[in-house]
Structure 1
Amino acid sequence: MLFATSVVAGLLGSLTGLGGGVAIVPVLALLFEVDIRYAIGASLLSVIATSSGAAVAYVPEGLSNIRVGMFLETATTLGALLSAYLTAKVSTH
């Protein structure tokens, strides 16, 4: 059942352009009763793996804008640091 849910989430994510994490994180937390922190971590891991695989293909071909990527990487890192700080301050309830 988990595999089928993952396939549907991946399909919805690819069709809408939002990513499968938008669908799989709530499903893992609500239907499968996975701790929300583990569900988010699993989603982040899949995003990192997918992005790394795409980078291997697109960067050598010159299809990626490295300057924009570095700007977005900086903004994402700052957002991740802020989020990590807030997780220690905000209750999970």
Structure 2
Amino acid sequence: MPWWGWAVLGAVFVGAIAVAQWRGWIELRGTNQGRGSGNGAFGFADEVFHPTKHEAQKIAAVETELPAPAPAPGDGPLDLDAGRVRIDLDR
């Protein structure tokens, strides 16, 4: 195979991966969002060949995120119509 054949084959491979990401068939951005060790460059292989592991990683990543605490009934007044929050600090 000539050198340009390998270049065309590589371009087709990269294009196929880009289309698969764009269509949502694979997810290359990772599931851990920078925490811990990810799957690396071939992380899409888990999604394709081992989807239960991929789903478990996504669920674990969502469960480790901490939401902001909800206001309690005894909290100070909120003026949401004006877009302001008044916080009273005890001295």
Report the TM-score range of the alignment, normalised by the length of the smaller protein: under 0.3
Q: Which has the larger radius of gyration?
A: 2
Greater helix proportion: 1
Q: TM (normalized to structure 1)?
A: 0.25
Q: TM (normalized to structure 2)?
A: 0.26
